[in-house]
Structure 1
Amino acid sequence: MTEAGVRRGRPARAARAVLTGLRRTAATTLLLVLVPVTAALLVAAGVLCAPVSLATRGPWRPVRMLGFVLLYLLADLAGLTAAAFLWARRLPDGRDRARRRAEDAFALLERLLRVLRRAGERIFRLRVTVTPPPPGASGGAAAPVLVFVRHAGVGDSFLLLQVLLGPAGLRPHTVLKRTLRADPALDVLVGRVPHCFLPAFGRRAEDAIGELAAGLGPGDALVIFPEGGNFTPRRRLRAIASLRRRGLRRRAARAERMRHVLPPRDAGALAALAAAPAADVVFVAHTGLDVLHSARTVWDRLPLREGVRARWWRVPASRVPSGDAARSEWLLAQWARVDRWIADHAGPDATHA
């Protein structure tokens, strides 16, 4: 970049920094307000629910949900406090400051997500079975991987990140929706590690994803949700109708046969494959959280009656087809495999179109 280009970019960076500071200040202020409000609501819910729940052995849903929300808010507040301490501690680190801050952020994210997972296990009876078990911490020696994941159910992305950071020992470089920046701790911590929030203002999403994939190193994992959104039966029907309107009738017919997933949007995945040709590809199918696809189903289905089951498989880079057309067909075939696995393992509570 020329010196003139650098000078032109400075005002834009300064404006983004101001907006980021304002957003984080507003989110943190709201967090500080919500903690005592949620605590008061939790006490009130406990008092009001106790007579009925004790007499009927009910599920204490309001107490469970408000209790988890309070724990989430407190974890967020603890994460912000720890992030500020770690930021100050790394000030004298000089050239290694960015790398060390990223390591600190990954470690802190793993601890916070582990706390939330354990809270989910106790409050919502969350039980997770991963087949085969994650390979374990690699000490940074493993080759980079692209992780393509089915997106269905409340909290599935956070649960996946916890598994990657903890049991799998990988450093996830994640593609997330920009709305998640409303979470102040997540905004701060993800901002210190390689990431991409979508929509990526000022550039195409696939360019941002390709740039993120090109920076992968040993022990890194780029996480993408190719469906582009959480699965619901209504979204599935809309996605199939969209394919038909665009004249992609063969792809629409294949998507119609997949009843448990959305047809993958392959632009981001193809950009990642092109930018990281030496990376293996991991596909992740899961079921158990897909019953939680609306406020009503969250209320009706919690605590969980069925455990969460996940299945992953790894495709070596040498077996990934060449060319966008072949890769698009291959991705759709892998997604059909995801759909078949879900059909075979979904619990009786699962409802699909």
Structure 2
Amino acid sequence: MPKHLEWKHWGEDVHHPTGRLRAVLTVAGIFAALALLVVLSPLLVPAAFAVDVVRRKRWATLRFYGFATAVLAAYSWALTAAFIKFFTAGFGPGRRARRKRHMVWLQDKWGNAMLDAARRFYNVTWSVEGQEELAAGPVIMLARHASILDTLLPVDLAHRPETGMRLSYVMKGELMADPTIFFASQVIPNVFVDRSGTDTAAELDKVATLATNLGPGDIVVVYPEGTRFTPKKQERLRKKFADEGNLEALARAESLHNVLPIRPGGPMTLLERLPDADVLFVAHTGLEETANAGDFFNGRFVGAHVEIKCWRVPRATIPDEPGEQRLWLEDQWRSVDRWVGEHRHEPNK
């Protein structure tokens, strides 16, 4: 297939999100917040300094001010660039392919700018083992989810020069409120799912559309826990299974210490629709202290070391029978849990 057609037809069956008015209003809020942080910096910086002198939390307030400013600047730049590139892509033949290429480039730059801000302002170090496993797709990536930052890890892993692959995501529906993700998903094939379970079949049908016209440079990213791992969520889930009398699910949940049980529906749907795709597992540790925005204030993330481990399972070794496939997924997820437990460090005080 010619290159421009490969881009044009990439994810053409995916339904793009609606709600442009809400997204536009959120964009206005982002630009206003950035302007306030910059204009009020002569007041905010000394105030943050004074707070940190009293708190003695590794200058966490100043760091957060710098990080928040950098994040809002990255959002503002990405949204402005997306608006410009929408028109510079033209309106003739090939415009859909050009817009997709432009948006993938923007996704790369925006995601890496956010992670670079975290590294710079919080003095975070990074190590990756197995990044070479991302070469030659299509690949189904199943990644641990324990942080508001780890959703950017696939961009950091896949869009470095030595890989150059393009990503599509399965995301929770709430992320449509993020304007950068919303507008990117008008072009890039991402799927937003309702996690309530009211119509699981319909949600899995949406996931299946991501398998349309994938090539050797494609990765479909899934966070199979369905939500960020925290000890509180872990306990709530165990209590739910116990109250329901679901002893099998309770046993699975209690056997895991650093991840939530895998939800197999999405991964198994993609395995069915992508019979030639390998599966890439991404385990990581070091980002647990950024589970929510408030965590950036407590100083525990300062000086963290983030370790990432990727391993790839060839499709030929993955069972096809649904029951065996589910057991295989659960076994691999236990490997993720063990790896995190072996490499996790205590956070800074």
User: Does the TM-score normalized on the shorter chain lie above 0.5?
Assistant: yes
Matched, 1:104 2:102: yes
Aligned pairs (5 A) from 1:1-353: 20-40=19-39, 42-51=41-50, 53=52, 59-94=58-93, 96-134=94-132, 142-166=136-160, 168-199=163-194, 204-245=202-243, 248-294=246-292, 297-349=295-347
Question: Does 1 or 2 have the higher relative contact order (CA < 8 Å, sep 6+)?
Answer: 2
Deviation at 1:245, TM superposition (A): 4.9
- Report the AA paired with residue 176 of structure 1: M
Structure 2 match to 1:12? none
Evaluate the alpha carbon distance shift between residue 59 and residue 91 of structure 1 in structure 2; reply closer, same or farther with a 3 A threshold: same
Q: Secondary structure at 1:291's aligned position in 2?
A: helix
Q: Using the alignment, how far apart are the partners of 2:348 and 2:122 within structure 1?
A: 17
CA offset digits 1:133-172 (Å, max 9, x no partner): 3457x6xxx2200000110023110133222222532211
The alpha-carbon deviation at position 128 of structure 1 amounts to 1.6
What is the alpha-carbon distance in structure 1 between the residues aligned to residue 193 and residue 108 of structure 2? 23
Structure 1 CA distance for aligned equivalents of residues 50 and 252 of structure 2? 52
Q: Distance in 1 between matches of 2:154 and 2:265?
A: 22
Rounded to whole Å, the distance in 2 between the matches of 1:224 and 1:254 is 20
Q: Distance in 2 between matches of 1:157 and 1:199?
A: 18
Distance 1:47 1:192 in 2: 42
Return 5+ residue gaps in structure 1 as ranges.
1-15
- Structure 1 counterpart of 2:111, one-letter code: L
The one-letter code sitting in structure 2 at the alignment partner of 1:111 is K
Of 23-32 and 281-290, deviating more is: 23-32
Contact 1:41 1:66 survives alignment (8 Å): no
Unaligned 5+ segments in structure 2 are 1-15
Amino acid paired to 2:239:
A
Letter in 1 for 2:193: L
Following superposition, the deviation at residue 109 of structure 1 comes to: 1.2
Alignment match, 1:4: none
Aligned Cα root-mean-square deviation (Å): 2.6
Q: Distance in 1 between matches of 2:72 and 2:37?
A: 9
Q: TM-score, normalised on structure 1?
A: 0.85
For 2:121 and 2:300, the matched residues in 1 are separated by 9
Q: How many residues align?
A: 330
